[in-house]
Structure 1
Amino acid sequence: MHPHPRDHRSTLDGGHAAGLSPEHDACGVGFVATLSGRPDPTLLAVGLEALRRLRHRGGVAADGRTGDGAGVMTEIPRRLLARELASRGVRLPAEDDFALAACFFPTAPEAERRAQRLLEEACRQQGLAVLAWRPVPVDLDALGPIAAASRPALWHAVIVRGPRVAPGLAFDRALYLARRAFERRAAAFVQREGRDGAPAAGPAPAGLRKPYIASMSSRTVVYKGLVMAGDLDRFYRDLRDPDFATRFVIFHQRYSTNTTPTWERAQPFRLLGHNGEINTLQGNVNGIAAREPWLRVPDWPELAPAAVAPVIDPEGSDSAMLDNVLELLVLAGRDPLHALLMLVPEAWEKVADLPPALRDFYRFHACLTEPWDGPAALIFSDGRWVGARLDRNGLRPLRYTVLKSGLVVAASEAGVLDAEPADVEEHGKLGPGQMIAVDLATGRFLRDGEVKAEVAARRPYGQWVRQIVRYPDEPGAEDAAPASGGRDLEPDPPAMAPPVHARRAGRPGSQAPTDGRRRIRAPAPSPPPRSPRWPPSAGPGRS
């Protein structure tokens, strides 16, 4: 299924074809989810149809058949995978004991085998093992010439945890460290030399491309590529399999504005899909890089700067960079609701009727990280939660519908799902800084106020913020001293270093801020200040 001819436009020069209106020049993104708590074999078809109805939002290459990128994120299709492995005499382990990696490897045979060996070795070092390699079934006729020329070899790696790796969060963390070790070794995978011995310029040939892992999780899997939205399930045969059951589908149709389309830059990424831009990107990247020397999480001793730095992949798009940071914060102990409220806050400072607990939440996290500002419409999932978030600008539309049957759909536009009015429980749209979420485990649908009230109540942010922050308009702000030197922050202290400018503002004798914003106080002389830690941990387990 191809878009209308007027949508056959090239995005390589960033321009607009004649007669096209600017409102088409944005990605299409959304999700469908069931509140039943059970994987549904019909849900994937609903998500793919919603994706097809957003195809007019995607860019198309000069060949008229290669898209800027389209993809879906779903739960791992356990029934399908078990059937496939059983045909080869391999038994799929219990749900908590295996993960699935979606791999983009070089197509040259020797390079392909080498990439597999690298991933197997990286897994062994983390107490994991690759149980089986599965070539992903595809139909090459669904690709345009440009996409076909750069197509990677597509593999699924079924990974099992060893006896020293616990299920749940510990398994997720081991998978992350294994993937990052693989990525570091893969960085030199296609190092080519020019005539002068220096690295050769330009992209590597498709047969020697740098390996890339689209997803590597015990709960979710990503199918994506340089395909048209209507051709995604033609290309990936899994997506037409009747045994493919899932509780949610995140879908994304890309319109590339700032980066050249590639297979790797298609979305969704490992946790999110994004429509928009990150206009504070350079400052955000610099802020994360400045904190990397202090990477530490109390209950994750294996995490170290050398193991994961740089946190942000410099070759990724702005969306991919936000995904990099979100992933690490979730693995540090926060769920994606908490992490996105922290990274993409609303415009809270001048809202007079903001609930006090939520204001304390934002005040506390303002000391830990700078906002990632859009315009941005974000769809996210870690396999437990799925939801949507709009940044403080609110310039990318997101509408949602809840049906009486328990189906929830959110998307960049209305009309991605046909529903009779009598079947609709609720229609809504997200405003600036708002969020909705579905708890896949319990079947709850949370509206914006419910999400924020629940997250803000998890920790004593008011107590913490009063110990480290003073505002000039608060009584006693000029000469108040900390009551305990930070000791009351135990056992769950703020573990991310404040921005450098804020720490300087709090030193004894430093110039007080004059812009009416927060004042960061100097630590008490006794006990000595603790070493700053990044990323923040939410204590044992997930918050």
Structure 2
Amino acid sequence: MTWKEAYPDIPLGQDACGIIAMAEKSGKPSHRIVRRTLESLYRMAHRAGAIRGEGDGTGIQTDIPRELWARFLEEAGLDPELAFNPRFFVGHFFLPKTEAGRLEEFQELLRREGQPLGVRPVHFRLGEVVSEVLGPVGRRTEPIFLQVAGLSPDGDAPLWELGLRLEASFPVHVVSLSTYSVVYKVRGAAELLKRYYPELSRPEFKSTIALGHNRYSTNTLSTFEQVQPFGLLGHNGEINTIERLRREMDYLGIPRTGGSDSQDLNRMLEGLIYRYGLSLPEAMDLVFPPVLGEVKGLPPELQDLYLALRQRFGPLAQGPAAIVSRHRDEAVFATDAMGLRPLWQLETPYEIVFSSERGVFSAEEFVTEPKPLAPGEKVYLRLTPEGPKVYPFDRHQRLVLERIAARTPVAGYRVHLSGPIRQAPPPVAGGSEPQVE
């Protein structure tokens, strides 16, 4: 039975990008998670734009497929056990085909820039792709897909800094560079992803969680580089305050990407995590704090927390948006304050799912009633060896309070709810009233 048959009076919704996140309930890596995420993207193909009959783009973020990389290393004459080292990293890079003659130069640059950071690459390979499945526009903009494996001295922070240096000094796009995740993306329709990257179909390709994204470009051109997901997130919507966010990035010393609003949002969150030491839940609440109307109904200690965040940082990412995000063993799923982009929480016998549409599965597959996230709601998920643990919004807020309060005092900030505590500055010269951004 389809969702339309089971619930004929409830619209499925077909607006904007399609996003999905799926976590394996057993806690063990499986190929099923990868396959089911790809199938769900096919079923949300209507949530993707098309130019000249070609899709705007589709992508997937997964765990590093360590069994697969053990085989790659063995084929290269290297120790396959290296793939299971917690310091092992995999990098995916897009280089313009016009730079095909400079591959060795790029590899040397990566070694040279990585050395002072303690990053040691051990294997370079051209990733397997099937260019014939692309349409004419996709082929014209198709990049070289380079894969790099190696060892990081301390998690992903040195890798993030390395990626910034590489993009600043070479015409390269860092698709992903991490000790825990990889990203595959293509300029085309959802059904092309598995066909373009054959390794996604290999049974050794296993993951405990996957994020998927179908792109519907509304105000930027479609390129391989702008397809999502990025290193941390998949984003459906627009950031209406993007210039304010970008100015704050400049102030914090986090380089802009020069790309879309979603790319800069991802870059801001990465900077907060890798340069300023925040966790993913903290970074998400810092950039997406609740609106004041919601804050007024919270307990006093949470009012202190969110007024402290708004006073010190401000609501920098406002606009219609739904987000699926993941960093290491933590994931956060969120909707905008007005609930203008849908996100559903679903559960099947094998997966915990967050999706733009509940219709990606048949009604018989659900073990609980699908639940739409409320406007401004966030759900926190932690990956554990026993399986994912899901925490509702109030538990997410308490977690953020504990972590932020351990870093800096937040008590007393709720005084700002009563109104300005200082006299407002005079109007801008020549203006007829105070100017509000």
Distance change in 2, residues 1:310/1:354 (3 Å): closer
Distance 1:171 1:462 in 2: 21
| Alignment partner, residue 226 of structure 1 | 187
Q: Deviations over 1:125-144 (max 9, x none)?
A: 21111100121111112111
Residue in 2 that maps onto 1:330: 273
State the secondary structure of the residue aligned to 1:90: coil
Distance change (3 Å), C-alpha of 1:268 and 1:135: same
Inter-partner Cα distance in structure 2 for 1:43 and 1:50: 10
Map Cα deviations across residues 419-459 of structure 1 (whole Å, 9 max, x no partner).
526x5134211111101232112621112222112222334
Change (3 A) 1:406 1:451: farther
* Structure-to-structure mapping, 1:402-417, within 5 angstroms: 402-403=347-348, 405-417=349-361
1:38 match: secondary structure: coil
Higher normalized helix content (fraction of residues): 2
1:71 and 2:71 are equivalent in the alignment: no
Moved more, 86-95 or 232-241: 86-95
Q: Which structure 2 residues correspond to residues 339-488 of structure 1 after superposition, within 5 A?
A: 339-349=283-293, 351-371=295-315, 372-403=317-348, 405-418=349-362, 420=364, 423-441=366-384, 443-460=388-405, 464-466=409-411, 470-471=415-416, 473=418
Q: Distance in 2 between matches of 1:464 and 1:174?
A: 29
Structure 1 residues 55-66: aligned runs within 5 Å: 55-62=45-52, 64=53, 66=54
> In 1, Cα distance between the equivalents of 2:116 and 2:14?
47
Kindly state the Cα deviation for residue 60 of structure 1 after the two structures are TM-superposed: 1.4
Separation of aligned partners in 2, 1:218 and 1:111: 26
Structure 1 alignment gaps of length 5 or more: 1-22, 187-209, 293-308, 479-504, 506-510, 515-543
Contact 1:357–1:462 (CA under 8 A) maintained in structure 2:
no
- One-letter amino acid matched to 2:389: R
Residues 232-258 of structure 1, C-alpha deviations (whole Å, 9 max, x = no match): 000001110110110011000001111
Maintained 8 Å contact 1:401/1:427: yes
TM-score using structure 2 length: 0.87
Given residue 337 of structure 1, which amino acid in structure 2 is its aligned partner? P
Percent identity reads: 31
User: Is residue 137–residue 238 contact of structure 1 (8 Å, CA) maintained in 2?
Assistant: yes
1:540 alignment partner in structure 2:
none
What amino acid does structure 2 have at the position aligned with 1:277? E
Structure of greater relative contact order (alpha carbons < 8 Å, 6+ residues apart):
2
Q: 1:135 aligns with which of 123, 126, 129?
A: 126
1:86 and 2:45 aligned = no
CA distance in 2, matches of 1:472, 1:329: 26
Superposed CA offset, 1:55-80 (max 9, x none):
11111121x2x321100000000001
* Equivalent residues of 2:58, 2:187 under 8 A apart: yes
- The alpha-carbon deviation at position 468 of structure 1 amounts to 6.7
Match of 1:298 in 2: none
| Aligned counterpart for 2:86 among listed residues 96, 118, 133 | 96
Please say if residues 32 and 43 of structure 1, whose CA atoms lie closer than 8 Å, have aligned partners that are also in contact: yes
C-alpha contact (below 8 Å) 1:132/1:157 kept by paired residues = yes
User: Cα deviations across residues 94-119 of structure 1 (Å, max 9, x unaligned)?
Assistant: 43121111110132432233222222
Supply the AA of the counterpart residue of 1:45: R
SS at match of 1:283: helix
Consecutive unaligned residues in structure 2, runs of 5 or more: 1-12, 427-437
Change (3 A) 1:472 1:435: closer
CA RMSD of aligned residues (A): 2.4
Q: What is the aligned partner in structure 1 of residue 237 from structure 2?
A: 276
User: Which of structures 1 and 2 has the bigger CA Rg?
Assistant: 1
SS in 2 for 1:274: strand
Whole-Å separation in 1 of the counterparts to 2:68 and 2:294? 51
Q: Structure 1 counterpart of 2:329, which letter? A: R
Alpha-carbon deviations, 1:18-54, whole Å to 9, x = none? xxxxx74511111111232211121111100111111
How far off is 1:123 after superposition? Answer: 1.2
- Is the CA contact 1:279–1:374 (under 8 Å) kept in the aligned structure 2? yes
| C-alpha deviation, 1:156, in angstroms | 0.8
**In structure 1, what is the equivalent of residue 166 of structure 2?**
182
1:274, 1:367 → 2: CA distance? Answer: 26
> Is 1:29 matched up with 2:13?
no
For the residues of structure 2 that align with 1:513 and 1:430, how far apart are their CA atoms? 39
* Paired residues for 1:150-229 under 5 Å: 150-161=141-152, 165=153, 170-186=154-170, 210-229=171-190
Shift in alpha-carbon separation, 1:137–1:354, aligned structure 2, 3 A: same
Partner of 1:207: none
8 Å CA contact 2:282, 2:403 repeated in 1: no
* Count of aligned residue pairs for this structure pair: 408
Query: Structure 1 98/459 Cα, relative in aligned 2: closer, same or farther at 3 Å?
Result: same
Amino acid at match of 1:444: K
1:133–1:156: 8 Å Cα contact kept in structure 2?
yes
Match of 2:8 in 1: none
Specify the alignment match of 1:262 in structure 2.
223
